[in-house]
Structure 1
């Protein structure tokens, strides 16, 4: 999730557990501690693919953060002891502030390596967009109230109430994901499509409209599903160009991307470049993680040793209004094929 939400989450957790004794300082301590796992963004791992796929690695490991919680608890008890609450409560607070950060990240589409250093694929439950006001606003209101009026009396309970509401909202997003996938599975069965894998994710800034991808060899299908749809979803067939991946058989970056994304990738020739796109993130036709992994020369495709991430614009912000309308109205259908064609400048 975004850094502001992570800070609010950390402040709410520490405010709920230690605000009685630490007062407003609990909010500040929790906000700072709640952003600690994301400090790995300052590390340069050598190239853009490595920076993407090693982010949310060791710093988001449940094992590493449990050790960090023990060390921080010892340091605080050693140098800033407070007899009013136990070491067990302090450890539980620090551990929960750190762990709730990475668990919330795992609910997004990016991919979080909760079990690093085990070689398990990243966890991406992909039920909430990276910025979702419905999750963040209850935490914001609770933190503002606690900051203004202190953590005493009824206000002291607000962070706990906000955590209950936000956690309940995460349950709602999981229900939305199941709804969308169930409707698409029914459509797939009726059309006889044999998809290799399915990936579903909410559209930007909401959990009411879902984008579902079906990977099917040289092609993939995309569709949008809303809670209010009364007709089966329309599956739009798009080119994936997986045959181009043969040129990347010796590319460690390509292998890493396949592992990190679950192979939900698209391949395109753009001029003399072979581009690989992570289809999971962003929106149809606007995907922020695109990498030129090979260049065409007189000798054929040559791997790019240190690929860079292509610059990403903010997309067509006017389409947010179209997506908002699509939540409530299934027709007219949005032009997903035309949007996808714009990925390489085609219209």
Structure 2
């Protein structure tokens, strides 16, 4: 999730737990602590693929953060004791600020390694876009109100109310995900499609319109599903070029990407480079994580030892308007095939 939302979440949690004693300081302490797990972005793991796939690793581990909460509690009780609340309440506050950060991240599509150092695949419940105002606004209102009016008396409950509203909203997003997948599964059954896997994710900045990907060997299908759709989803068949993956045998970065993304990948040749795209993130035709993993020479494809991530532009802002209109109207269908074709030869 974006850093502002994580700071608001941390502030709300600590405000709910310790606001009646710490006052406005609880909001500041929680905001700082709530962004702590994301400091791993300053670490250079050696190449762009490693930087992507090791992010949300050890710093987002439930095990590591639980130990960190114990350590911080001991340090605070040792050097800055406050007898107005117990050490148990302090520990729970710190622990919840840290743990809610990584659990919220797991609701996005990126992938969060909650069980590090176990080598299980990253967890991506993928029901919330990385920036979702409907989740963040209740927290923002509670934090601003706490800063303006303090957290004494009944006002100390405001952060808890905001957390309850935002948590209920997460439940709504999970319901939307189930709705979208159920409708696509019905269409698959009617058309006799047996995909290798399904990946669903909300479209940018909302949880009302869903993008569903079906991986099927050399091809993949994409479709959009809204709560207001009356007709079955229209599955658009797109080239995945999976045969190119054979040229990446021996590439540690390729294996790492397959593990991290669940193999929801697309392959393209752009000039003399073989590009691998993470289809989960972004939107059709605009995917921020694209990597050249091999270059063509006279001897054939040669693996790139330290690949760089291709620059990502901001995309076409007018498409956000089209997506907003698609929430309410199923027709005319959006040109997903044309948007996806822009990946060919584009950077």
Relative to the length of structure 2, the TM-score reads: 0.99
Residue matched to 2:126: 126
1:23 equivalent to 2:28? Answer no
List gaps (5 residues or longer) in structure 1.
Answer: none
Aligned residue for 2:240?
Answer: 240
- Residue aligning to 1:287: 287
CA distance in 2, matches of 1:158, 1:66: 26
* Counterpart position of 1:263: 263
CA distance in 2, matches of 1:41, 1:344: 30
After superposition, the CA RMSD in angstroms is 0.6
Instruction: Return the alpha-carbon distance in structure 1 between the equivalents of residues 332 and 10 of structure 2.
Output: 42
Instruction: Map 1:67-146; keep pairs closer than 5 Å.
Output: 67-146=67-146
Partner SS state of residue 288, structure 2: coil
1:55 is matched with 55
Contact 2:181 2:212 in 1 (8 A): yes
Which position in structure 2 is the counterpart of 1:194? 194
Task: Provide the C-alpha distance between the structure 2 equivalents of 1:37 and 1:28, rounded to a whole number of angstroms.
Answer: 16
Residue 193 of structure 1 aligns to a residue in which SS? coil
Residue 154 of structure 1 and its aligned partner are, at CA, apart by 2.2
The equivalent residue for 1:172 is 172
> Partners in 2 of 1:345 and 1:137 — Cα distance?
39
SS in 2 for 1:286: coil
SS in 2 for 1:343: coil
Q: d(CA) in 2 for partners of 1:77 and 1:279? A: 47
Deviation at 1:343, TM superposition (A): 1.4
Cα contact 2:69–2:94 (8 A) shared by 1: yes
Partner of 1:228: 228
The separation in 2 between residues aligned to 1:11 and 1:310, in whole angstroms, is 35
- What is the rounded CA distance, in whole Å, between the counterparts of 2:14 and 2:219 in structure 1? 48
TM-score by length of 1: 0.99
Cα deviations by residue, 1:203-252 (Å, 9 ceiling, x for unpaired): 00000000000000000000000000000000000000000000111000
**2:310 matched to 1:301?**
no
Q: How does 1:30-49 map to 2 (within 5 A)?
A: 30-49=30-49
| Distance in 2, Cα, partners of 1:317 & 1:304 | 33
> Conserved in 1, the CA contact under 8 Å of 2:270 and 2:345?
no
Deviation at 1:156, TM superposition (A): 1.1
The residue number in structure 2 matching 1:182 is: 182
Query: Deviation digits for residues 183-209 of structure 1, max 9, x if unmatched?
Result: 000000000011000000000000000
Equivalents in 2 of 1:344, 1:221: separation in Å? Answer: 17
Alpha-carbon deviation of 1:152? 1.0
Aligned residues: 346
| The 10-residue stretch of structure 1 (136-145 or 150-159) with the greater mean CA deviation from structure 2 | 150-159
- How far apart in 1 are the matches of 2:267 and 2:217? 12
Structure 2 residue 322 is the aligned partner of structure 1 residue 322: yes
Counterpart contact for 2:269–2:345, Cα < 8 Å? no
Deviation track 1:268-315 (CA, whole Å, cap 9, x = no partner) reads 001000000000000000000000000000000000000000000010
3-state DSSP of counterpart to 1:154: helix
Query: Aligned residue for 1:2?
Result: 2
Deviations 1:243-262 (A, max 9, x none): 00001110000000000000
Going from structure 1 to structure 2, the CA distance change for 1:325 and 1:345 (only over 3 Å counts) comes to farther
In 1, Cα distance between the equivalents of 2:180 and 2:75? 47
